[in-house]
Chain A
Amino acid sequence: MTRADSDRPGVVDSGAPAENVAAAEAAITAPEAAETAVPPAIVAQSLSEYVHAQVRRVRSGDSGLLPVVLALIIIVVVFEVISPNHVFISAGNLVNLFLQSAVFMVLAMAETFVLLLGDIDLSAGYVGALGGAIAVQLVQPTTTNWPWWAAIAAAVVVCAVIGLAQGTLITRLRLPSFIVTLAGLLIFNGVLLIVLALGPFSGYPSLQGLSVNLHAIADMMQGHVSPLVGWISMIVIVGGLGTSIAFRDNRRRRSGLVAPPLGVTIAKIGLIAAGGFTVVFICNLNRATVGTLEGVPYAIYIVLGVLAVWTVLLEHTRYGRYIYAIGGNAEAARRAGIRVARVRTMAFVLCSFTAGLAGILYAAYQGGMSNNVNGGQLVLYAVAAAVIGGTSLFGGRGRVANGVLGGLVIGAIYNGMFLQGLAVQWEFIVTGLVLIGAVTVDALSRRGAASSGGARP
């Protein structure tokens, strides 16, 4: 989740003349506009200034990742204090918590694409579940017996095609996404039941068995790498990310472009390294009550991989820029020559595609697929996760990293309530309250931005 800290591509200096720029930069720092709405990273000259600017920004309501991180810390502390034998912060439970959150995280990342446009995809839960069911059915040794990778590929392609169909209806016929995907929710719930009923395990195809392909899919959630591989991969990821951030910030500072102060860069890299170390350290503790169970779960790599790829797509490519532009002002995007319908359709494709991945993770976690899956609730949790994480329901604001953090919040509530022995009704109520809090922050921040000189609609 640290990948999202990198704002700009690690490209090499293009060598254009910079003298002029320095003058221009000096000229445009005269304070006039509303201070509060400006991200601190672009005005602060030192680490302490950065912190102060960040505090000001939170007060004004436009707060980035801070509220969700605070919420997460509060939830963790509260549950640790009240959980029986303080089991909440144990290695076993934390890894468990992550696995329980993984489906929400990936589904929330899926939903981010359409939320950024100001749309919503209510069908993502059942479309994802359908993807999971297809993958599970295709690897059954007694029927099709496909290799695991082919089954996964087929599942996500089916989901992408579903997204294409829904997106086409929404953008070409100009139907509201809420209604089209509500219909999709019903339709694909039905299709899911049909797919589940195929084959010998009518209604309950399982990933139990001796076949390599069954295991491969189940291992996406249940398997893990060896402790040594965990450390090596952590060093590679943190090193690569840290180096690229350091080079980029340094290059931009030297060429007079907008860049965070050196202290912030160092703090950022330090946080990434500390985060990576903590995660691998916890995962490498033996979390079995009997025998040995240690190592970083594959699921963490899968979530990080999805996060990295979608972050690059959304923040460093033209396509991603166009999604934000359409979410901010569709008419402006159209006049800038952006093919709005095509970009929006593609967002629904990416949403359903990613939902398919989430559905496969769901199946892997459950050890199979059954008609008990509640796709309607899953998708609402995913939207809640995205919004809790800081993605706006009104479009134009948010990142996939928000979905990951929001998914972690929902997973933590679910996990903590379960440890308390509280029944599911309390989990619903608390999650609902957190969601209300998140939407309030979203709405207040928009109002804060509007009153501090902006002209947000």
Chain B
Amino acid sequence: MTVEGTGGESNVELLAVRGLSKSFGPIQALTEVDLDVPAGKVTALCGDNGAGKSVLIKCIAGALEPSEGQIFWEGRPVRIRNAHDAAELGIETVYQDLALADNLDIVQNMFLGRERLRHRLLDEDSMERAAAETLATLRVTTVRSIRQPVGSLSGGQRQSVAVARAVMWNSRLVIMDEPTAALGVTQTAMVLDLIRTLRGHGLGVIVVSHNLNDVFAVADRIAVLHLGKMVVQRDAAGLDRQTVVEYMTTGGSGPLPTPADAGRPA
């Protein structure tokens, strides 16, 4: 029911995006983007404002339909037309605003829209148990009670609840949009730990972030978008901060290969 490990040993990537383009009328938001997301690894998606990060993750999450290109899920081509399709595959997205209802408690938020019923009434006991198990699996241990309203939680705890909700549904890939943008130092550390826990459970994780400290703290792979094009995509170990900043701001980097080459997976 909760977090399932897949090991990520196979050669096939969990998610592979090939030649994905998206245009809004005359505006070309994404141009032939390739992206590989392995299971059991954290892939950071970086880029300046307007680089197309949000459009890309929305295409993967089913919130937008790509104009062109193909998405492969464990090697087979799939069409993700809406959030429901994405959920069927095991893709869950934690948007920046978290989409939590402050007046509902943690259990109610985690099951929102997918409540368990018993005799046509809400089965609170079973939902509470499952929510507690998931939070324990994710080692979210700082909340006082899972029956407290989400409005009374700290920013990091809210993020944890949103992530816990995402991983509850046998999800295989969790996309997190700017998970640390609104958080202080302690809270950020807590969320980064949570991301490592997800990786430890064998899930694929895409983290969209501006914050290179966080990116280098947690990412196994880094992909950089610039003006709608994927300019580099490789293991974090092969990149340093300065290079990534150059890619993000100019779309290229002096001594390194040209963007066109860098965009191609090895």
**A interface vs B, CB < 8 Å?**
7-9, 11, 13-14, 16, 18, 20-21, 23-25, 27-35, 37-39, 42-43, 251-252, 255, 257-258, 312, 316-318, 321, 324-325, 327-329, 331-333, 335-338, 396-397, 449, 452-457
Residues of B close to A257: CB separation below 8 A? 125, 128-129
Selecting from B27-35, B102-110, B195-203, the interface stretch reads: B102-110
- Which one of B101, B124, B129 lies within 8 Å of A333 (CB-CB)? B101
Query: Do residues B145 and A337 form an inter-chain contact, with CB atoms below 8 A?
Result: no
Selecting from B18-26, B40-48, B113-121, the interface stretch reads: B113-121
Chain A min CB distance to B185 (Å):
15
Chain A min CB distance to B97 (Å):
7
Residues of B close to A16: CB separation below 8 A? 126, 129
Residues of B close to A14: CB separation below 8 A? 118, 123, 125-126
Query: Do residues B142 and A30 form an inter-chain contact, with CB atoms below 8 A?
Result: yes
- Which one of B115, B118, B125, B143 lies within 8 Å of A28 (CB-CB)? B143
Residues of B close to A34: CB separation below 8 A? 152
**Shortest Cβ-Cβ A-B pairs, 8 listed:** A336-B113, A328-B101, A24-B136, A37-B152, A328-B103, A396-B103, A332-B99, A454-B151
**B interface vs A, CB < 8 Å?**
83-84, 95, 97-104, 108, 112-115, 117-126, 128-129, 132-133, 135-136, 140-149, 151-155, 157-158
The CA-CA distance from A24 to B136 in the complex, in Å, is: 5
Query: Do residues B152 and A43 form an inter-chain contact, with CB atoms below 8 A?
Result: no
Query: Do residues B145 and A20 form an inter-chain contact, with CB atoms below 8 A?
Result: no
Query: Do residues A33 and B157 form an inter-chain contact, with CB atoms below 8 A?
Result: yes
The residue on B at minimum CB distance from A450 is B151
Query: Do residues A28 and B151 form an inter-chain contact, with CB atoms below 8 A?
Result: no
Chain A min CB distance to B86 (Å):
12
For chain B, what secondary structure do more than half of its interface residues adopt (helix, strand, loop), or is it mixed? loop
Query: Do residues B129 and A332 form an inter-chain contact, with CB atoms below 8 A?
Result: no
Query: Do residues A449 and B152 form an inter-chain contact, with CB atoms below 8 A?
Result: yes
- Which one of B117, B121, B141 lies within 8 Å of A30 (CB-CB)? B141
Residues of B close to A327: CB separation below 8 A? 103
The CA-CA distance from A77 to B132 in the complex, in Å, is: 46
- Which one of B115, B129, B133, B140 lies within 8 Å of A318 (CB-CB)? B115
Query: Do residues B104 and A325 form an inter-chain contact, with CB atoms below 8 A?
Result: yes
Query: Do residues B121 and A9 form an inter-chain contact, with CB atoms below 8 A?
Result: yes
Residues of B close to A318: CB separation below 8 A? 115, 117, 122
- Which one of B83, B119, B155, B158 lies within 8 Å of A11 (CB-CB)? B119
Chain A min CB distance to B133 (Å):
6
Give 9 A-B contacts (CB < 8 Å), ordered by A residue.
Answer: A32-B144, A32-B154, A37-B149, A42-B145, A321-B122, A328-B101, A335-B83, A454-B149, A457-B102
The residue on A at minimum CB distance from B98 is A332
Residues of B close to A456: CB separation below 8 A? 102, 151
The CA-CA distance from A318 to B117 in the complex, in Å, is: 8
Residues of B close to A312: CB separation below 8 A? 121
Residues of A close to B151: CB separation below 8 A? 37, 449, 454-456
Q: A32-B143, A255-B125, A329-B102 are in contact. List 5 more A-B contacts (CB 8 A).
A: A321-B108, A332-B99, A336-B114, A454-B152, A455-B102
The CA-CA distance from A457 to B100 in the complex, in Å, is: 12
Residues of A close to B97: CB separation below 8 A? 331
- Which one of A7, A18, A27, A29 lies within 8 Å of B136 (CB-CB)? A27
- Given A336-B112, A337-B113 in contact, is the A13-B133 Cβ separation under 8 Å? no
- Given A27-B136, A29-B144 in contact, is the A316-B122 Cβ separation under 8 Å? yes
Chain A min CB distance to B261 (Å):
38
- Given A251-B125, A318-B122 in contact, is the A24-B133 Cβ separation under 8 Å? yes
Chain B min CB distance to A390 (Å):
13
Residues of B close to A329: CB separation below 8 A? 99-102
The residue on A at minimum CB distance from B157 is A33
Query: Do residues A258 and B152 form an inter-chain contact, with CB atoms below 8 A?
Result: no
Query: Do residues B102 and A30 form an inter-chain contact, with CB atoms below 8 A?
Result: no
- Given A452-B152, A454-B149 in contact, is the A338-B143 Cβ separation under 8 Å? no
Query: Do residues B101 and A332 form an inter-chain contact, with CB atoms below 8 A?
Result: yes
Query: Do residues B102 and A24 form an inter-chain contact, with CB atoms below 8 A?
Result: no
Query: Do residues A453 and B122 form an inter-chain contact, with CB atoms below 8 A?
Result: no
- Which one of A27, A38, A453 lies within 8 Å of B141 (CB-CB)? A27
Residues of A close to B125: CB separation below 8 A? 8, 11, 13-14, 251-252, 255, 257
Query: Do residues B148 and A38 form an inter-chain contact, with CB atoms below 8 A?
Result: yes
Query: Do residues A20 and B121 form an inter-chain contact, with CB atoms below 8 A?
Result: no
Residues of A close to B100: CB separation below 8 A? 329, 332
- Given A16-B126, A327-B103, A397-B103 in contact, is the A9-B152 Cβ separation under 8 Å? no
Residues of B close to A453: CB separation below 8 A? 152-154
Query: Do residues B144 and A31 form an inter-chain contact, with CB atoms below 8 A?
Result: yes
- Which one of A11, A27, A338, A457 lies within 8 Å of B118 (CB-CB)? A11
Query: Do residues B144 and A43 form an inter-chain contact, with CB atoms below 8 A?
Result: yes
Query: Do residues B145 and A38 form an inter-chain contact, with CB atoms below 8 A?
Result: yes
The CA-CA distance from A244 to B139 in the complex, in Å, is: 34
